[in-house]
Amino acid sequence: MLSKKLIDAINDQINYELLSSYLYLSMVAYCEDNDFQGAANFYRIQAREEVDHAMKFYDYLVEMNARVLLKGIPDPETEFDGYKDTFEKSLAHEKTVTKRIYDLMDLAIEEKEHATISFLKWYVDEQVEEESNFTAILGKLKRAELDPAALYMLDDELLKRVYVP
Ligand code: OFO
């Protein structure tokens, strides 16, 4: 049986993953409103993946016979300062998520909860990928800043992202 402290922390993380989804969905709305179609597609998929992350935690609690408790999600940011700003904020957000996953892992290690340690490894790896994706896009954005054609190509590339369940 998981400790109450660990169950509470996982429930908090379910909420935070859903908050992440809501933030990225808000970026979809902003990008669509500003005709950034590729970025809008990219964030649509990102928002879906965040729901998957939340559901993976959700299913884990169910599997461990622990109670899922959902909480409210605060209003997401709705206005951004352009295309690049959304990616800078996304990377900063993902760094916060990584820190939260590390804190969860520290707690599981402290409690010698080996099943949870094993379960959380997926998230540790996923965060490497999340941060690396946003860092790569930001790098391309910086190089494309003074070149509208390169920016167009980047948006076109983001349009090709597909959802993989
Ligand atoms: Fe769930 O990884 Fe992004 O936030």
DSSP string, 32-94: HHTT-HHHHHHHHHHHHHHHHHHHHHHHHHHHTT--------PPPP---SSHHHHHHHHHHHH
The pLDDT of residue 148 is above 90: no
| Residue nearest atom 1 of ligand 1, based on CA coordinates | 50
Query: According to the model, what pLDDT value does residue 65 have?
Result: 98
Q: Ligand 1: distance of its center to the CA of 146 in Å? A: 30
Cα 5 to Cα 15: distance, rounded to the nearest angstrom:
16
Query: According to the model, what pLDDT value does residue 146 have?
Result: 83
Query: According to the model, what pLDDT value does residue 108 have?
Result: 98
Q: Please, which pLDDT band fits residue 145 given cuts at 50, 70 and 90?
A: confident
The answer on whether 93 is annotated among ligand-binding residues is: no
Mean pLDDT of 56-71: 98
Q: Ligand 1: distance of its center to the CA of 94 in Å? A: 6
Cα 108 to Cα 106: distance, rounded to the nearest angstrom:
6
Q: Are 66 and 113 in contact (CB under 8 A)?
A: no
Tell me the per-residue pLDDT of 106-116, one tens digit each, with 9 for 90 and over: 999 999 999 99
Q: 122, 120, 111, 124: which is closest to 2 by C-alpha?
A: 111
Could you tell me the pTM of the whole model? 0.96
Q: Ligand 1: distance of its center to the CA of 4 in Å? A: 24
